[in-house]
Each structure stands twice: as C-alpha cells, then as structure tokens.
A and B are shown apart, each in its own frame.
Chain A
C-alpha cells in the first residue's frame, strides 16, 4: 500500500495570567491552571511546545520555582536569574520530547509550580501548542470503508 501523505493540525490552549497567594512555607506545590484541549481519536500527537512569561503586567518578576505541565518540567526561575529581579516580564519556552507527549494525551494537563522561596509566583498568559498528525482524506475514506465493511460483516453474521 502506498503511504498516505501527512497533514498537520495545530491545537492551542492557554492559561491566563496568574498571581498566586504567598504560601506559608516552602517548598510549596501550587497549581497555576489547567490546559484543556481536544485530540481527535484519529489524530496523532507528534509534538508540543509551550511558551509563557515570568511576571506579568502588574508585577514583572516571580518568586523562584520549578514549573511543570503534566509533571514534565518546562521552566524554572532561580533567584539569580533575570526572572527574579527583572524590570519587565521574562519570556520562556519549552519543547516536549517525544517520550514526554504521553502526559498530554488525555486532553488535559495541569500547569503547576513548586515554589522555593519568597514571595509570589507571577505568570502571564502561558500557551501550549500541540502538533497533530491528521490522516489524509483518502486514508480516512479507506478507514471508513473498512469500518463499514466490518459493520456489514457483523450484520451478516447476526442474520
């Protein structure tokens, strides 16, 4: 069979700007938000990336911490980094490796942080981008035909 051509689809999900309450003790596990998205059952997740900002329009810096999506570390801010003491918000980004994509398959992933020091976690809008492999229409038609045939076969068997 001749391999069908691939067509990528881009799906994005965002978590809005956040200013978390200061925890009483450190380290503290905190949830910033949840990414929600839909991956059609016939699509294949072939890549993902995320971008965001330490700090936001109100406070340009953030407390130190390690940031995770679905348990995968995607960013970190240490006290010696610009994100801790910059005069404007600091951009960051991360690309998931193929073996990390499994954490995104469910259509939902928490954006969390382990805060490690004073004062407050501050983030701006964080955007998760998913690259999906979509089957060619011919492949879909072939799949539909196969499903139809399977259905007819079962119907015949019931008779």
Chain B
C-alpha cells in the first residue's frame, strides 16, 4: 500500500467522531461579492437604466466595459467554487437577461469576498437586446437558451465541466453537456478549448454526407438525394406503406378504412407552413407521411398506433468506408398532432438495429428540435466506422410516460392538461432537415473538448449538486427535474395556489445519487428523499437546486453500529410558496445518517434555514421562517432581504479552517421585473462557524 492510502486511513482513524449535528452560526453577515475585470457589470454605470438597452450595444455590437476596479458582481449567477482556505477558483454563469450568457472564471484570495476575472467562454450569442423588447417577450434571442449550472469534476488528472443544456426540449431531458478542460496558468478554462459555436459542430470534422433538401423540388419524394455525399448515401421513409386501420375522417365520423401508401414530400417554407418559426425552418425540409389508398376527405398520414415500435420514420444509410469517429446529427420537427417520441437506431450490417442516444421528446404542441447529435465515437461505438453497411433510423417510439388506455402506445405532441394522450391515427407527421454524418478527427481521449458529449444514466438531470469527495466510483448527488409531471399526484399534493412567481408549478424535483467511472456514463443509485415532491407545506421542501456543497465532518456511527463518513450538505430548496421549481426559497442544510448517502437528516430546513428569501404573503398570511442562521443581507431591510430577497440558492461551502467555512451563493433582488435587463443577479459571501471540527 502506498503512502497516500496509509495517510488516508490514518486521517479517517484520527478524524473526530461526528455524531452530533453541526449547529452553524454566522461569523459574518452575507455581503455582495465584487469582481475586477471581465465583462461589464451594472455598477460600472455604463447601463444607466436597467430597463433600457441604451448603452448596451453600439452599432449592434455588444459594448465591453471591463471593470478596472472592484464592482458588484452583477449580473453573475450560479457559482461553482473549488479550493481551500482563502484561495478559491470560481466558475460563474455570467447572465444578462436572456442575452450574451457565458461562462466566466475568476479567482479569489480572500475567501470569495472579492474576485479577479480570468477568462470567459461559451458565449452562445453576441446578439444585442432589442431596445423595443428588453423583456424579450418576443424571444428574439431565445430565453434560457444557453448553458448553465456549471460544475467541475476532477479525476485522473483531468477536469471535466458539466453544463445544463437549457434549450427548449433539451432542458431537463438530455444528459448534461460534458467538456474536458485543459487548464493552464491563469486560464482555468484552457486556451481555445471551449467554443460555444463548436459545441454542436465537431471541429475539424469531415462532412461525409448531408441532406438539406434545399435543392430538391417541392414534390412527393420518398427517396431524397443527399446534398453532400462523399460515399454512398441514401434515404427512405419507413412504415408509411402499411395496412393498418385508420379513421376515415379527422372528426372521427365516416367509419374506418385500411392501408396507407407512402407519400413523403419536400416541403418549402411558406407563411402557411407549420415550420416557419425557426431560422432553419425557412428552408426546405423532408416531410414523412402517407396517403390512404382509399378515397377519403381526410389526408392520410401513414402514422398509426398499431405499428410496432421502431417501425415508422426515416432511414439514412451512409457508407462510412474510410472514415472513423462517426457522428450523426439532425433536425427534427413534429407537427402539433405528430407522434411525440423519437428513438434513433443504428445498424452495422444493414439488417439488425440497435438503439443509440436518448429518447427524444418533442416540445409540447410540437416544433423543431435542432442539431440532435449522436456521437458514436464518444459512446464508444466503433463498429460504425469504416463500415459500408452503416445506417441510422429515426423512428417513432412508445411514450414511456403514458400509462393510460392502450399503453404502451404512441402519444401525440400536444398535451392535454399537461399530460400526454394517445396518438390519434388521423393527423400529424414528422419533418427532418440538416441530416449530417460527420467523421471527426481521431482523439485519444474519451471526452474531447469542443464537442457535444452528454452524460447518460442521469435521470432528467438539472445539474450536479455535489461530488462525494474521494469516492470511487465517483459518486455525485444530482437534481432530477421532471417537467410538468405532478398531475398524477393527489389533489392535495399539488400546489393549490400561485406562488411568488405568480403561477402554479408542476415540476417534480428530487435529489438523487449516482456514480460513474468515466464521468460520462452514470448509474443512478436512487432517491435521497431530501425533497418531498408531494408536500404543499410552507415549511416543506418540494424543490431543489443544483450546485450545493458537501462538507466533510469526520466519521460517525449509524444506528446499526457501522462507522461511516459523515457529510454536511448545503443546497437550495423551495416549495409551493415560490411557484417555481428552481429551489431558491432558502439555503438549507442536512447531514447523512449512514454510508449509503441515501438517508439524511434535515438540520436547517425551510423553517430554520441558513438563509432565506423575503417573506411571502399569500391570502393575507405572511410566511417567513422562524429563524435563520445568517439573518439579513448587510444594509438591507428585513422586509426584502435586498439582493437575495427574491431568490437565494446555489451555496458553495468552502473549507476555510477547521471550524469555519466560506459560504458563497447567489441571489435575486426581490423587486426585479421582467423589464429589468440586468439588475437582479448577484453573488454573495458569508462566513459560517461550525462550533466543531470541519475537515479539509
């Protein structure tokens, strides 16, 4: 055994028993952090009126006002911090409202009170806000379309950056985006390694085949030609010619008839087109559907619930002879009545098909999902390289969330009361566009930079809460967020009133445990029960936020007499009072009660949290915690809690010394409005005393 292992064992043996719960007390009051350098901050004064875009851009180019002195860290958000003592490394979500979101790295030598800008990356758009639409109600530049919830995990001498893909239909559905970082001195994000525009396009890759349909005639076309083909490339629809039974009319009258004949077509963009809401949809695409054989007033479509799963859709066959590291990418559009779920499959022999990538879900009501990427190389599927029989099918799949009559079954894109309903067999179809097969450069690493790799095995991940220190396999706590999914709960388990956000939220949040060996492929280990998704209590914890912290407390003994490593967990929590599932009502604290990390005791809950947002008034009743550890923000009134009155979460508890932690977190002003371009995101810091030993 090497010296490190001995040292680790010795540390465990000598660590103090940590049976008692930590009673955290405030050493310093929460104060807003400041930063020097980097993109503009509000207090530079360059943006005189946060409700106006005046000064934000000049000649449609974003103004950059690097701060030359320490200014309030606004609009910074979602801190992720590493380090010990007073020397800390920070990764922040720099996030003006709805535009120019990016990742910023900064360092601190005073425990997070002040920061020095180092680097920025992953800016998804340099677009300027519309002066006539500062609130971005028209979603000119998208809303929440960026990457967020940064979390860095290190193992094997490599740092991996995890981000939430917030694009509609991807958020809380896809795995987390994973980038490998190549840090250098003063450049924790590496040099020229992170590029937002490259995220969904493999750098330096060869485009082996592509279908963009733009040069094809707008007519029936069941086998559209590829627009780029370095090898043999063919396409065809699947399952549209069939003998299933269909209703004769869309209104359900007219009895039934059987069979359909494939009638796919190239569809051009037009005002009447259903797919004219996205830039990529302004070009032609390929519509998959059929026509009934018999004369009927209803347009036949070929899609049918009687079709076995994975038999209807489209197939793209591309010989990859001479090419390796294969990546398949496509845009998928579903009409309002189209089938809701798509599964990609691949073949290496032309006959047998295997699922690849995650099950895709269309937006509620249908729409385009762009640049869906299957990186076979990242998935370790090497048999698709240099293979003349390679092909991919994009086929309809049963909806795993549907449990109604006839289940398992296909469901439609449009939900009813937020719930999927069985596909109607009458209308709706799919379109495909920008179908591409890449061969990307060889890489010796499992996870390459500049490329879209997503985790697998994490269930609806919203972000990583914390990594269990020194665990192997690497264990993580993460937030699972299932959007709009509490409708099946009992009536008294659904939030019955609009909370702080003004609406009733139906998401289901849980904090779960998972483990991984390679940082990409995870195995879910179960729910920690740190949240109760069915509670409607104003002191209950229904929602949780990612980016929390585990503090090492030494060893303890469980009720069965077994010794275990004890941790304290800080995380953001929320409930029905918020009307939002982001878990921002208060920063709470819990401790594990055994080695599984699945069982926890809440020490500082919503009613006695570390820190809380401003009181919430509903129906004349004021809801506020009985006590808080940190009290109010410095210089703010108890009525609003100032800069964290509207939201407070994402606590990073950083070891300061054997009895103190630096707590870095973020917050919203209680009084922010939708027309406020910037003035509601802040980073703050406070020091907490444990009264007992905290391990580094």
Chain A interface (Cβ < 8 Å from any Cβ of B): 19, 22, 24, 54-55, 58-64, 75-88, 90-94, 117-122
Contact B154 A92 (CB under 8 A): no
Give the docked Cα–Cα distance between A155 and B437 (Å): 89
Give the docked Cα–Cα distance between A75 and B4 (Å): 8
Contact A24 B444 (CB under 8 A): yes
Shortest Cβ distance from residue A128 to the other chain B in the assembled complex, whole angstroms: 15
Known contacts A61-B155, A122-B157; A83/B472 CB under 8 A: no
Contact B446 A88 (CB under 8 A): no
Closest to B475 in A: A85
Contact A87 B4 (CB under 8 A): no
B625 contacts the other chain (Cβ, under 8 Å)? no
B354 contacts the other chain (Cβ, under 8 Å)? no
Residue numbers in B under 8 Å from A84 (CB-CB) = 155-156, 472
B interface size (C-beta, 8 A): 30
Contact A62 B157 (CB under 8 A): yes
Residue numbers in A under 8 Å from B696 (CB-CB) = 88
Of A78, A85, A91, A120, which is within 8 A of B7 by CB?
Answer: A91
Q: Which of B95-103, B463-471, B593-601 contacts A (4 or more CB under 8 A)?
A: B463-471
Shortest Cβ distance from residue B569 to the other chain A in the assembled complex, whole angstroms: 15
Q: Which of B139-147, B182-190, B577-585 contacts A (4 or more CB under 8 A)?
A: B182-190
Closest to B183 in A: A58
Shortest Cβ distance from residue A100 to the other chain B in the assembled complex, whole angstroms: 15
Residue numbers in A under 8 Å from B8 (CB-CB) = 81-82
Contact A93 B3 (CB under 8 A): yes
Closest to A118 in B: B156
B159 contacts the other chain (Cβ, under 8 Å)? yes
**A contacts with B: majority SS:** loop
B259 contacts the other chain (Cβ, under 8 Å)? no
Q: Which 9 A-B pairs have the closest CB atoms?
A: A119-B158, A120-B157, A76-B2, A122-B157, A58-B183, A63-B157, A82-B470, A85-B155, A119-B156
Within 8 A of A (CB), among B455-509: 467, 469-472, 474
B388 contacts the other chain (Cβ, under 8 Å)? no
Within 8 A of A (CB), among B5-55: 5, 7-8
B83 contacts the other chain (Cβ, under 8 Å)? yes
Chain B interface (Cβ < 8 Å from any Cβ of A): 2-5, 7-8, 82-84, 154-159, 183-185, 188, 444-446, 467, 469-472, 474, 518, 696
Residue numbers in B under 8 Å from A122 (CB-CB) = 157
Contact B2 A81 (CB under 8 A): yes
Shortest Cβ distance from residue B374 to the other chain A in the assembled complex, whole angstroms: 23
Contact B4 A92 (CB under 8 A): yes
Residue numbers in A under 8 Å from B158 (CB-CB) = 59, 61, 63, 118-120
Contact A87 B2 (CB under 8 A): no
Of B2, B84, B154, B469, which is within 8 A of A77 by CB?
Answer: B2
Give the docked Cα–Cα distance between A59 and B157 (Å): 6
Give the docked Cα–Cα distance between A120 and B696 (Å): 24
Closest to A74 in B: B3
Contact B7 A121 (CB under 8 A): no
Give the docked Cα–Cα distance between A119 and B29 (Å): 42
Contact B156 A61 (CB under 8 A): yes
Give the docked Cα–Cα distance between A80 and B93 (Å): 32
Residue numbers in B under 8 Å from A75 (CB-CB) = 2-4
Of A58, A78, A90, A94, which is within 8 A of B184 by CB?
Answer: A58
Shortest Cβ distance from residue B191 to the other chain A in the assembled complex, whole angstroms: 12
Give the docked Cα–Cα distance between A62 and B156 (Å): 5
Of A61, A80, A81, A88, which is within 8 A of B157 by CB?
Answer: A61
Contact B446 A118 (CB under 8 A): yes
Closest to B85 in A: A88
Closest to B153 in A: A85
Contact A60 B183 (CB under 8 A): no
Could you write out 17 A-B pairs with CB less than 8 Å apart? A59-B154, A59-B158, A60-B154, A61-B156, A62-B156, A64-B156, A75-B3, A76-B2, A76-B4, A80-B472, A81-B2, A81-B8, A85-B155, A85-B470, A88-B84, A88-B696, A119-B156
